[in-house]
Amino acid sequence: MSLPIENSECEAIENTDQSGDHDENDNFQETIGNVIQHAAEGVTVGAIKNAAQYAVKNGGRSSNVVSVFDKTVKSSLGNPKWFARVDMPHGNVPFHHINVNKAITGVKDPHIRISPGAAAAAGGAGQVLNVVNKAAPLLTVASVAYEAYQIKECLGKDIENHSSRNTIKRVTTTVAATAAGFTGSGIGATIGTVIFPGVGTLIGGLIGGVIGGIGGGVGSEISSEVILDTINYDIDYIICEKCQQEFQHRRYQEGYTQKLCPNCR
């Protein structure tokens, strides 16, 4: 026969369950927020990388749909050479196609056949990519400002808690996400070039930057947490003033003045 539970005990159990659900919800929201933040870091890196190397131009000659120019390869006049171009049917090529500049790739122009729909989509993508390229400096400023603000917040929290772990983790994660974003952007650009030279190169760079940013940022958060936990960085073991039991105290989260274990608070 089960014993009745007093109302106060029922309330305590209910509050504990609600507290656990609240913590899980907070953790989930924090995780989603971190993923979005690292994705933003990655797409910013991809945009910067694209803007530094490529320029996009819609139209031109009557047959041109969109052209991508490589700023790192100059003509005799000092102008960027075209890298890849989407053209409508013309001359001896009676179908929509992609031209690739042999002077840059070292490969004879293959005149890659594409559908009229793909050519139109490439033209629309070119307009978007041109806007992203122009916005890259603003994205960079916004990203740097946001990261500086986040680091400042972590530094303030660490000063208050007599710790340094929050700042170290934040800086490490930012550096890792940025570095992985650059690497991912390069890989994505290579894959994009294989699939659709020119427009695909830039799209691949952006997607690769996002994937790299998320992977590098989240991976760094997990690994740095494990490493810092292993060496007990900013983690104290304190004797509770009430129950006299030793408990683990994460000073960087809870502050340095806590003297009671979780059960006695």
Report pLDDT for 8: 43
Residue 240 CB neighbours (<10 A): 18
Report pLDDT for 154: 96
pLDDT at 2 over 70: no
pLDDT at 38 over 60: yes
Q: What are phi and psi of 80, to 5 degrees?
A: -60, 140
- Give the orientation angle of helix 199-230 with respect to helix 116-161, to 10 degrees: 20
List all residues 6 or more positions away from 48 whose beta carbon is below 8 Å from its beta carbon: 136, 139, 140
pLDDT at 99 over 50: yes
Report pLDDT for 34: 86
Give the rounded percent of residues in the chain with a pLDDT score beyond 70.
Answer: 91
User: What's the whole-number mean pLDDT along residues 227-242?
Assistant: 95
Residue range 169-190, pLDDT digits in tens: 999 999 999 999 999 999 999 9
Report pLDDT for 81: 96
pLDDT at 68 over 90: yes
Contacts 24+ apart (CB under 8 A), 148-155: 150/174
pLDDT at 243 over 80: yes
The pLDDT-based confidence of 23 (bands split at 50, 70, 90) is low
User: What's the whole-number mean pLDDT along residues 253-263?
Assistant: 91
Domain spans, the chain: 38-230, 236-265
Nearest to 36 by CA among 146, 112, 114: 146
Report pLDDT for 65: 97
Report pLDDT for 260: 92
List all residues 6 or more positions away from 123 whose beta carbon is below 8 Å from its beta carbon: 58, 65, 66, 86
The pLDDT-based confidence of 10 (bands split at 50, 70, 90) is very low
Pairwise CA distance, residues 17 & 223, whole Å: 30
User: What's the whole-number mean pLDDT along residues 9-20?
Assistant: 46
Half-sphere exposure of 126 (CA within 13 A, CB side): 26
pLDDT at 105 over 60: yes
Nearest to 84 by CA among 201, 207, 205: 201
Q: To the nearest whole number, what is the mean pLDDT of the chain?
A: 90
Name the residue with tokens 């990519």. 129
- Whole-prediction pTM value? 0.84
Report pLDDT for 33: 84
Report pLDDT for 60: 87
